[in-house]
Amino acid sequence: MEINQRHIISNCLKGDRTSQKRLYEQNKVFLFGICMRYGKSRAEAEDILQEGFFRILKDLKQYAGESSIQAWMRKVMVNSALMHIRKYHKLKFEELDERAVNSGYLSDHSLFNSDRAQSIIALIRQLPKLQQTIFNMKAMDGFSFKEMSNMLDIKEVTLRSHYHRSRTKLQALLQKELH
């Protein structure tokens, strides 16, 4: 971590409002991108950002410096988004039999390499909230099914099934968009 970053974090821990603002300004675009993927609207994403950044400042003392500050903040922001979703969307996860999981996954491609990234994100927002959340955690934020299972307290096989459903639905939305 660069010296300036350490200085900002150190001052944030002391409650320095200028450093807190600087940390926010340096990372707001990155963090807002995460929030936009989990929220159904810009207003909801802004709420998630506000809640999440408050949590970042509150929990900053837990940042051990083992990974980059951005990686740590991403995890805090995703957790904040999940808490927001649980609170306001009352998601229900259904337990599924392992036989219900179809192994025919679509090939993985980075959505961010496309000129149509904004269109794709808009399509992802059309998914039901449960599918949107699981798709974002897996495809966009790179969590493993095991990590997701621990974070959501849901069986991995259930997450795999919901993820497959989200990909299938997204594929159908993309096909409709292209035709």
149: CATH: 1.10.10.10
Please count the structural domains in the chain: 2
Of 59, 89, 119, which residue sits at a domain end? 89
Nearby residues of 36 by Cβ (< 8 Å), 6 or more positions away: 42, 45, 121
Shared domain check, 151 and 171: yes
CA neighbours closer than 13 Å in the CB half-sphere of residue 65: 9
- Please name the amino acid found at residue 174: L
20: CATH: 1.10.1740.10
Q: What is the tens place of the pLDDT at every residue in 70-86?
A: 989 999 999 999 889 88
Of 89, 111, 134, which residue sits at a domain end? 89
Q: What is the tens place of the pLDDT at every residue in 10-23?
A: 999 999 999 999 99
Q: What is the tens place of the pLDDT at every residue in 130-151?
A: 888 899 899 888 889 999 998 8
Token pair recorded at residue 165:
């459903």
CB 148 within 8 A of CB 138: yes
Of 89, 118, 146, which residue sits at a domain end? 89
- Please name the amino acid found at residue 25: E
